[in-house]
Structure formats: C-alpha cells, structure tokens
Chains A and B, each alone.
Chain A
Amino acid sequence: DIVMTQSPDSLAVSLGERATINCKSSQSILYSSNNKNHLAWYQQRPGQPPKLLIYWASIRESGVPDRFSGSGSGTDFSLTISSLQAEDVAVYYCQQYYSTLPWTFGQGTRVEIK
C-alpha cells in the first residue's frame, strides 16, 4: 500500500498569513499514461464531514476559494492557503488514488489561528 505522510501534524498561523501543508507519498503517484498526479486534498472542519478541495494535485473543486492551491509532483505535494481566514480552521488530509486500491489518506494536519 502507498503510505501518505503529512507534515507538520499541526500549525498555527495568523489571520491573513500563508499556511502550507506538505504531503509525501511512499512512491510516485504520477501516472505516466495520463501525466497526472493522482492526489486529492480535503478539508474537515470540526464536527463536519470532509470536503473535497483539490484533485489531480492542483485542480480546485468548483466553489473552493482561490486562496487554496495545490502543487507538487511525483512524491512531494503541498496545499497552500494564501491568506488564512477564520473559517479555514480545520484538519486537512491528502489522499492518493494511484493505480489499484486501497486509496490511502495522510494522517491529517490541523490548522489553527495563532
């Protein structure tokens, strides 16, 4: 199984400042047949189900604010919140969907306000 490791486990950022979450896969999740990175990001606010933010590593889901962006390729990826808002307090998960099941999640990164 592909192991997804996020860093840091938690971070505290001031309102309006940038937050960056890293996600590393145990093997490359860049699929040669479509030249796409098979990675998604989710946001889970307290007491809520996860919400899809990004897929194909950098494509924002419809309705997701443009302060959220995804980047990276191969084994190393990042989710950046360019200007943290109060409503962005949440746990963020990366998930790989490369090749066969199981599709696995990172352990999560908690984002708080400093």
Chain B
Amino acid sequence: QVQLVESGGGVVQPGRSLRLSCATSGFTFSGFGMHWVRQAPGKGLEWVATISYGGHNDFYANSVKGRFTISRDNSNNTLYLQINSLSVEDTAVYYCAKDPRPRYSSGWYASWGQGTLVTVSS
C-alpha cells in the first residue's frame, strides 16, 4: 500500500535552513504529483508547495515563495522540501501528500504521511 514517510524535522534557529524528505513506496512515484502541506501547532492546514510528476513544474504559497524549494528524485522515490531563512512562523508539522491519480493534479490529497515537526526557536 501507499506509504509516505517524512523526515528531517527538528529544532532550528531563526534564519537557518533545513531540508525535509519524504520517502515513498507502494506506488509509481514518478507518475504522481506531490505536495507539502503544513500545520502550525493547534492550527489548521496550509498548502505549502506542489511539484508535477515529472518535476518540471513547481508552485508555492505566497507565504513561502522565494524561501522554500520543492524537488523530487524519481530514481529514489523521494520528495524534498528545502527551507531557507526559517522564521518562527514556519514552526509546524510538515506533511507530504500524494495526488490521487497519475499524471493529473486532481486537486485533493489522497494520501498523507505522518508528518515531521519543524520548530524554529532561538
């Protein structure tokens, strides 16, 4: 079955960088668009970034544009999120999520990982 396992979170100081990973299995990774969605402690869900199945197109929320970079390694079935210039407002659980259908961005998030917590604190 579909498995998404995030890693790379931790406690980091403001202004520093972090790279999150999402290791996947159970489906043909190279055929599906992928997403990052975050959730600040006790708050709701916020879409962060999306990458097309081939990796040629990426999209970002205004709140992270210019600081976050989504990428993928289709040979290793892994999704990444590079986060630069971290601020306390970036403190959240970061989830990776998968499109429901291959080679087409349906709009909803069919499968989610368990998330990785990023805490930005001095």
Evaluate contact between B113 and A105: CB separation under 8 angstroms: no
Distance in angstroms from A25 CB to nearest chain B CB is 14
Indicate if the CB atoms of A50 and B108 lie closer than 8 Å. no
Say yes or no: A52 contacts B110, CB within 8 Å. yes
| Number of residues on chain A facing chain B (CB within 8 A) | 22
The reply on A68 being an interface residue by CB < 8 A is: no
Dominant secondary structure at the B interface: loop
Q: At the interface, yes or no: A55 with Cβ under 8 Å from chain B? A: yes
Tell me if A18 counts as interface (CB < 8 A to partner B). no
- Which of B37, B46, B108 meets A40, CB within 8 Å? B108
- Decide: B50 and A101 in contact? CB cutoff 8 A: yes
Q: Is the interface of A mostly helix, strand, loop or mixed?
A: loop
A38 within 8 A of B: yes
> Is the beta-carbon distance between A97 and B115 smaller than 8 angstroms?
no
A-B contact count (CB 8 A): 54
Task: Give residues in B with beta carbon < 8 Å to A.
Answer: 37, 44-47, 50, 59, 61-62, 95, 100, 106-115
Binding site for B on A (CB under 8 A): 38, 40, 42, 48-52, 55, 61, 93, 95, 97-98, 101-108
| Contacts A102-B62, A106-B44 supplied; 13 other A-B pairs, CB < 8 Å | A38-B107, A52-B100, A52-B108, A55-B108, A95-B45, A98-B107, A101-B50, A101-B59, A102-B47, A103-B47, A103-B107, A104-B47, A105-B47
The contact sample of 26 A-B pairs, CB cut-off 8 A, is A40-B107, A40-B109, A42-B109, A49-B95, A49-B112, A49-B113, A49-B114, A50-B37, A50-B109, A52-B108, A52-B110, A52-B111, A55-B100, A55-B106, A55-B107, A61-B110, A93-B44, A95-B109, A97-B108, A101-B59, A102-B47, A102-B62, A103-B47, A103-B107, A108-B44, A108-B45
